[in-house]
Structures are given as C-alpha cells and as structure tokens.
Structure 1
Amino acid sequence: MRDIDEIDRKIIAAVQNDGRITTHELAARVGLSPSPCARRVRTLEDSGIIKGYTAIIDQSKVGLPISAFASIKLERQREADLDRFAHAVARWPEVADCYLMTGQRDYLLRIVVRDLEAYERFLKDKLTRLDGVASIETSFALGQVKRSEVLPLR
C-alpha cells in the first residue's frame, strides 16, 4: 500500500464524483499541469487504488427493481468451505455485493432481480444447491435511502 498525499486525495475525490472528467479539467481542479496529473492518475491506477471506472445504473430503470439481502450461515467455516462459497458466488450475476461477515452469519449478499419469482429461482437453482450452506435468511429492501461509491477521504 502506497501513501497518498493531499493531491492524490483531491484526484481520487474528483474521479469518484465524475469518472469521465478530462485530464485537463482534473489537473485544473487539483492544481497541477496535465502531464503530472496524468502520471499521478496512472500511478493510482497501477497501484490498485483506482480499480476502474464504471457507470452507475439505476437498477429499477433496467428492470431489476428488487434488492434482496441474504444472510448465509455455512455448516463449517474452514478455509476450503469459505473459498468454495466465494468462488460460486463470484460467478452469479444476480449477486451485486458479497461480504464475509463477523457475528452470527458468515456472508451477506445483495441479490438484484426483476421480481420475487426470479429471486425464488435464484434461491432454488443456485444458493440452496451449494454444498455447505446451513441456513439462508432473506430480507427485501423496500426502498433505497442512500447508495454511494464515494469514499469519505480526509
């Protein structure tokens, strides 16, 4: 992990808010000329601090209005079991987010689907067929209050 300075923080803040910002606009915003600014961005990308750029899509407007949060408990928490679960989940496009958790449950998944029938199919065809799953508890989001990819850098 490389140290980031104040200029790096300004660059990160700017690209978090507008991934399509031009190098010239970014340079002006952070107080550098374009060439050094582009080098810093490239260094942030090469070091993995900036992992990529993406568009934020309104899931409802593309026909995927349902967010289901599934808490998963595995039968065992051995490394091989955790790895098997993580590799399976990584292949499923319905899983938008997956976190390894502390506490009563092992994983928390956010599953995005078009309707309850699609969630039921996902549950029956994929999640319940995975070896080592002891229990699944699902909650459905009624609405989204906040979602952000912007990190609170200080």
Structure 2
Amino acid sequence: MSLDRIDRKILTLLQENNRLANVELAEKVGLSPPACLKRVRQLRESGVIIGDVSLVNPELSGNKMTMLVSVEMERDRKDIYARFQASINRAPEVIECYQTTGSYDFVLIVCVKDIQAYEVFLERVLRTDPNIRKFQSSVSIRRIKYATAIDIQQT
C-alpha cells in the first residue's frame, strides 16, 4: 500500500494517541469523519496498522528487571531456528526477540520481577534447548530511551 501525506499524518497522530476520537482525528488531518474512518480501516486491513495497545509501566506491573540476552545457536538451520522461535513465543517473559547478524543469532529482551524469576526463565527456556551453543545476559541498569512510534518518512 502506498501512503500519501494524509495517511502519514493519520499514522503519526495515532501513534501519539490511538484513543483519539475519529471526529478529532478527521479535523486534524483535514478530512470528513467518514473519509477519515475509511482511511483508518484501510490502514488496518492492509496491515499498515498491526494493533492497538496500552503500554504498561513494567515497574508498576512488578517486573523491575530488564535483561538483554544474546543467543548463539549450535547450527545455522531453519528447523532449529523455528523450534527456538516457537519456544520464545511461548515465554511470556520475552517481550521482544530479534534474529540478528554477527556473533549471535538472536537478541532477546526479557522482563522479569527479579533475578530469581530470571533464573527460572533460564532453566525453563534456554538451558533446556540443546541447540543453543551459548548465551550472554546483560542487566539493564536504566532505560534511556523507549519509543513505540516509528518515524513515518516520505517515500
């Protein structure tokens, strides 16, 4: 789907506040409410907008520790990667997972209550996978930047 100036404005505004009423959104982008609603529906149906969520402060939810975990697999095989990815998708502690280039095959962002909860995660998910050669854990001491909005550039 090709995005025009109005689509980009809609996306920028919805990333700032997805609870914005359609009437207000339409006014801000210069469309009638029905035309604006149609645009938003098209953005959803085409997969440009993939979800609407509420962001929860991890500290207030009890998950005070964020771990960055780099994982190196034993072999570079599609079936091994698929099994690993399936296990990661089942692990609620993993809030992000990226397949990467370089020394490690995957980088995980793991959010847990404390170090004991992290150890439980390690035993249940990583140490039981025979296809993991090694992993390295880093503790985040402070979040410097966190954003969910992407920059909507002109193309």
Per the normalisation by structure 2, the TM-score is 0.97
Q: How does 1:1-154 map to 2 (within 5 A)?
A: 2-154=1-153
Alpha-carbon distance in structure 2 between the residues aligned to 1:116 and 1:76 = 29
Unmatched segments (≥5 aa) in structure 1: none
Task: Quote the offset at 1:126 in angstroms.
Answer: 1.7
State the Cα RMSD in Å: 0.7
Structure 1 window deviating more from structure 2 (124-133 vs 32-41): it is: 124-133
**Within 2, Cα distance between the matches of 1:125 and 1:42?**
41
Give the partner amino acid of 2:93.
E
Taking every aligned residue pair, what percent have the same amino acid on both sides? Answer: 34
Unpaired stretches in structure 2, ≥5 consecutive residues = none
Residues paired across the two proteins, number: 153
Deviations, residues 72-117 of structure 1 (Å, cap 9, x unaligned) = 0000111111111111101110000000000000000000000001
Cα offset, 1:131, TM superposition: 2.8
Give structure 1 regions of 4+ aligned residues with deviation exceeding 4 angstroms.
none
Distance 2:125 2:152 in 1: 38
Distance of 1:71 and 1:51 partners within structure 2: 27
Instruction: Return the alpha-carbon distance in structure 2 between the equivalents of residues 28 and 141 of structure 1.
Output: 42
